[in-house]
Amino acid sequence: MAFHRVLVTGAAGLLGSEVVRALTGRCEVVGLDVRRGDADIAWHVGDVTDRALVGRAVEGCDAVAHVAAIPNVVSGTGADIVRVNVVGTWNVFDAAEAAGARRVVLCSSDSVVGFTVLQGRMVPPDYLPIDEAHPMRPTDPYALSKKLGEEVAESFTLRGMEAVALRPVFIAHPQSRVEIEARARDPKGYRPGQAGGAQPAAGGAVWHHVDPRDVARAFRLALELDLGTQRFERFFLSADVTLSPEPTLERLAAWLKGPLPPIRDPGVWEANPHAPLYDLRRAREILGFEAEHDARGWR
Ligand SMILES: NC(=O)c1ccc[n+]([C@@H]2O[C@H](COP(=O)([O-])OP(=O)(O)OC[C@H]3O[C@@H](n4cnc5c(N)ncnc54)[C@H](O)[C@@H]3O)[C@@H](O)[C@H]2O)c1
């Protein structure tokens, strides 16, 4: 491992605790969160919007896995989401730079494309599969906060830092299994939150998902990645199948109630009718990431 001591923000959360697990034994891990988690690591308890706290937490670290955030559009007001997610990300980069920690791997989201959650406020993609060069068109505060987080990252990389923005689709945490199963039993009648899971079954029009253990492994790969002459990379992360009962393009066509966007590589869905809308090649070829888990057993 190229890194010896890594700060994980959001380390007490569902994904953050998996990231801590994925790094444990490979480097020293330090956690920051508003509450202390269970992992036996050094903890800095407090708010990521507190620049002084983040500065203390990152001291002596050579990299950061920035996971802390208000993790969706329903868990806070728009103002809180933008404040915590954007100022938090700025603090992490500013503190990392000041402490000499050269790389930040940040948790962005597929929502930056603008086609994920809020019905009536979703912009259909320009083309399929959606790759990392696709324009970002966030239409809700959460997606906007993730786009702005990527902008913060890019800005710091222009002056010497290294960053990798990971864009997971809906993370199928085990704590959400009951929700995913409830949706599978009754796709039309399902109401988000009805089964009492940690978060509702989501994943947008075609029910994308990715396993948190895979996302955590992607964090490790992104920390280890030889960036060459690049300073900034972005990768979509998804299981290679959706949870939708219908094939992906069929479901998308029904959902859009109109023609599909131009399909640049039809072979993707000929080979795998349930392939996600996102192009997973870049993650595979550059990051060396391929999902090892999927939640089809939960349907
Ligand atoms: N859950 C998903 O489907 C999904 C999809 C794509 C991206 N993400 C991103 O993944 C990351 C982790 O989300 P999760 O699903 O594990 O949710 P989570 O709520 O379990 O984790 C978020 C963690 O951040 C911490 N946190 C929140 N505000 C904070 C603050 N102001 N200061 C310090 N810590 C704070 C929380 O206490 C929590 O432990 C987030 O960045 C989220 O935006 C989640």
pLDDT tens readout for residues 28-64? 999 999 999 999 999 999 999 999 999 999 999 999 9
CA-closest residue to ligand 1 atom 21: 13
Residue 13 phi, psi (nearest 5): -85, 180
Q: How far is CA 238 from its chain centroid?
A: 9
Residue 187 phi, psi (nearest 5): -55, -40
**pLDDT value at 116 more than 90:** no
**pLDDT value at 299 more than 90:** no
Atom of ligand 1 nearest to the CA of 199: 1
- pLDDT tens column, 257-293: 889 999 999 999 999 999 999 999 999 999 999 999 9
**Selection from 175, 205, 180 nearest residue 190 by Cα:** 180
pLDDT at position 117, please? 66
SS3 state at 8 = strand
Distances (CA, A) of 285 to 26, 119, 133, 169, 245: 23, 33, 15, 19, 29
Between the CA of 232 and the centroid of ligand 1 the distance, in Å, is: 22
pLDDT at position 298, please? 87
pTM value > 0.75: yes
**204 Cβ inside 6 Å of ligand 1:** no
pLDDT at position 48, please? 98
pLDDT at position 123, please? 86
- pLDDT tens column, 208-227: 999 999 999 999 999 999 99
Q: Are 241 and 272 in contact (CB under 8 A)?
A: yes
**Selection from 227, 233, 116 nearest residue 165 by Cα:** 233
Candidates 7, 14, 83: which one to mutate for ligand 1, based on the most atoms within 8 Å of Cβ? 14
Domains of the chain, start order? 5-171+211-239+278-298 (3.40.50.720)
Place of tokens 């791997």: 105
Candidates 7, 171, 173, 213: which one to mutate for ligand 1, based on the most atoms within 8 Å of Cβ? 171
Q: Are 136 and 114 in contact (CB under 8 A)?
A: yes
Percent of the chain residues past pLDDT 90, beyond the cut: 90
